[in-house]
């Protein structure tokens, strides 16, 4: 979940490392640091601070170096402080390592190294690695020592190491992402390709178990004990996509990109039909679907749980990747759909591997090409959300939610007339979203009202219920207000005990088949004196009488109202967080890509 980077070439390394670390802060920002290869060995600069603050302190040193590594931390082993900040070094301070992930057997290695005289200064698992390399270098060269040390590690990790006097970076990965950016006479590494788009769009994606040595002239890559020729992949994303373009925060910018995402999803329905036809052919027809995902991706998958049985007649089950445990062999025609914006989510990857072992065909839905999830899956669909910088997922969730609709519309078992009418309604959604994004007065007013509460309940029914869950999650993530999402009919089965004047209820209302039942639930809430905020696709007298405050969405086909509700709950969380003066793009304790279980 941490972010690592490195550079070797002919330019000043420090400036490039700091620029990359700023782009990587969405992966963690408990502390940060860099290690530079100088004429006199290594120079390490680190602290418990944000990258920008460390850079200001560092500038005074004027250290010259054309090779180095950097790290921004999300603490997993050892509390976040300056001592535990990366890079970590060996006894001689001539070997430095940055690391993303977890080394499961570090205590065992640490004990053995301590007996051999090594002195440790931190609580981290990372520190064992430079000491391990140091130990092996007593009897062999640096490259061999790195390989031997790497082979001893157990867990999930991506590692980069530098050694004093060598303008080289030693790298390796298992179950954590690491990519090499390719330039002329220089190379740059990072935990993701988005970080490197300012410098190049040509990348080498490391596979599990890969190790390598990078100098300014070449990359030497080792796989399964053999040297392999690196495969260079060009990507379509542009550096411009990662800039703010006048928005105060990345989250708001990314919310405003969602109409484009819906349009691109609609445009891809014919291509998606070809993929589904191939899956149907391979499976002899899709007879059952099981989605595997975590967090916001799980909530988006719940949309398919409602749509597929109703419109396609396919039983569909939504599983949390972190809890998934298949107990039986998959029935014939079973499809597992694994959903992860990064394609590197550890729990989802583990669940996808288990599904394959039990006989499922696996379809990966991800926003990142050549990710670990896409490589292990039988089929892959790349959403077109583009780079997402803010830790709180918005446009990537929208791309996943829209894909659930597209999957149904692209399915050949959907009746032709129904498909045409539904696609026609779907095509109207981007323009309705634009209208919603241009009218924020009601949302800001509600945000000002909610900012002083410490607990909020979100409710809805039917296909909009997953959006209530996502709305509660966003309010927790960004505004730091304890929020819970419930199916409205479930309040009577316990949560009613919480209702009071101090806990507002945000109700997502659609004028669909569940409207009457939901209004009954709202009356029940009103009698318990809980403040009621209604977000609805249509204002009516009943809702006006019940609600303390109302947000009205543009009128939309009932099938697609959840997509407008999704935009609105994102905006509500955003503006509430703004009112509370919270750090919008970097919420406390969170990282965007969860690469550890």
Give the long-range contacts of residues 395-398, CB within 8 A, separation 24 or more: 395/254, 395/255, 395/257, 395/258, 395/261, 396/296, 396/341, 396/367, 397/296, 397/297, 397/299, 397/300, 397/341, 397/470, 397/566, 398/258, 398/261, 398/262, 398/563, 398/566, 398/567
pLDDT band of residue 14 (cuts 50, 70, 90) is very high
Q: How far apart are the first and last CA of the chain?
A: 10
pLDDT band of residue 593 (cuts 50, 70, 90) is low
> What pLDDT shows up at residue 328?
73
The answer to whether residues 57 and 5 touch, using CB atoms and an 8 Å cutoff, is no
pLDDT > 70 fraction of the chain, expressed in percent and rounded: 97
pLDDT band of residue 187 (cuts 50, 70, 90) is very high
Q: Is the pLDDT of residue 67 over 90?
A: yes
**Please, what is the average pLDDT of the chain?**
91
Q: Is the pLDDT of residue 416 over 80?
A: no
- Alpha carbons 545 and 348: distance in angstroms, whole number: 44
> What pLDDT shows up at residue 594?
54
**Residues labelled catalytic:** 2, 592
> What pLDDT shows up at residue 270?
93
Give the pLDDT mean for 261-290. 96
Q: And the tokens for 204? A: 């080498």
> What pLDDT shows up at residue 62?
76
Q: Give the β-pairing of 187-190 and 95-103.
A: unpaired
Domains of the chain: 3-241 (3.60.20.10), 246-427 (3.40.50.10490), 438-587 (3.40.50.10490)
What does pTM read for this prediction? 0.79
442-452 tens-digit pLDDT: 999 999 999 99
pLDDT band of residue 241 (cuts 50, 70, 90) is low
539-560 tens-digit pLDDT: 888 888 888 899 999 999 999 9
Q: Is the pLDDT of residue 497 over 80?
A: yes
Give the pLDDT mean for 82-108. 92
Q: Is the pLDDT of residue 322 over 90?
A: no
189-223 tens-digit pLDDT: 999 888 898 899 899 999 889 999 999 999 999 99
């Amino acid at each position: 979940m941490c972010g690592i980077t490195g550079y070797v070439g002919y330019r000043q390394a420090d400036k490039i490392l700091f620029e990359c670390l700023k782009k990587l802060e969405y992966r963690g920002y408990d502390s940060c640091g860099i290690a530079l290869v100088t004429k006199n060995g290594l120079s390490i600069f680190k602290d418990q601070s944000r990258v920008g603050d460390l850079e200001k302190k560092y500038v005074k040193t004027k250290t010259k170096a054309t090779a180095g590594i950097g790290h921004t931390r999300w603490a997993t082993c050892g509390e976040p402080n300056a001592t535990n900040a990366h890079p970590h070094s060996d006894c001689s301070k001539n070997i430095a390592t940055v690391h993303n992930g977890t080394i499961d057997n570090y205590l065992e290695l640490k004990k053995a190294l301590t007996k051999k005289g090594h002195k440790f200064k931190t609580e981290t698992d990372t520190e064992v690695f430079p000491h391990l390399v140091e130990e092996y270098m007593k009897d062999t060269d640096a490259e061999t020592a790195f390989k031997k040390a790497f082979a001893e590690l157990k867990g999930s990790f991506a590692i980069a190491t530098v050694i004093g006097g060598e303008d080289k970076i030693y790298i390796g990965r298992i179950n954590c992402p690491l990519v090499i950016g390719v330039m002329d006479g220089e190379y740059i590494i990072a935990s993701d390709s988005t970080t490197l788009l300012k410098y190049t769009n040509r990348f080498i994606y490391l596979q599990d178990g890969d190790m390598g040595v990078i100098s300014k002239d070449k990359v030497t890559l080792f796989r399964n004990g053999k040297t392999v020729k690196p495969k260079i992949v060009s990507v379509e994303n542009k550096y411009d996509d990662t800039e703010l373009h006048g928005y105060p925060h990345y989250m708001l910018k990314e919310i405003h990109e969602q109409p484009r995402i819906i349009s691109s999803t609609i445009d891809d329905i014919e291509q998606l039909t070809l993929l589904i036809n191939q899956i149907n052919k391979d499976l002899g027809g899709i007879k059952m679907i099981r989605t595997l995902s975590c967090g916001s991706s799980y909530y988006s998958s719940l949309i398919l749980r409602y749509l597929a049985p109703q419109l396609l007649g396919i039983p569909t089950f939504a599983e949390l990747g972190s809890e998934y445990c298949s107990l039986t062999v998959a029935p014939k025609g079973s499809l597992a759909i694994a959903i992860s914006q990064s394609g590197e989510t550890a729990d989802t990857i583990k669940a996808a591997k288990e599904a394959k072992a039990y006989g499922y065909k696996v379809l990966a839905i991800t926003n990142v090409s050549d990710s670990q999830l896409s490589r292990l899956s039988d089929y892959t669909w790349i959403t077109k959300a583009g780079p997402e910088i803010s830790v709180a997922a918005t446009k990537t969730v929208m791309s996943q939610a829209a894909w659930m609709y597209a999957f149904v519309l692209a399915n050949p078992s959907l009746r032709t007339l129904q498909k045409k009418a539904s696609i026609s309604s779907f095509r109207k959604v981007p323009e309705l979203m634009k209208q919603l994004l241009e009218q924020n007065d009601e949302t800001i007013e509600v945000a000002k009202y909610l900012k002083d509460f410490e607990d909020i309940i979100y409710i809805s029914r039917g296909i909009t219920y997953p959006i209530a869950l996502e709305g509660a999650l966003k309010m927790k993530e960004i505004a730091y207000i304890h929020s819970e999402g419930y199916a409205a009919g479930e309040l009577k089965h316990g949560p009613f005990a919480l209702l009071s004047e101090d806990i507002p209820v945000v109700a997502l209302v659609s004028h669909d088949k569940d409207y009457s039942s939901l209004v009954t639930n709202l009356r029940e809430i009103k009698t318990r004196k809980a403040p009621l905020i209604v977000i609805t696709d249509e204002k009516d007298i009943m809702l006006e009488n019940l609600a303390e405050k109302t947000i009205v969405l543009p009128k939309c086909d009932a099938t697609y109202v959840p997509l407008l509700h999704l935009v609105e709950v994102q905006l509500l969380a955003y503006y509430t967080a703004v009112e509370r003066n919270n750090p919008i793009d970097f919420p406390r304790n969170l990282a965007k890509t969860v690469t550890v279980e």
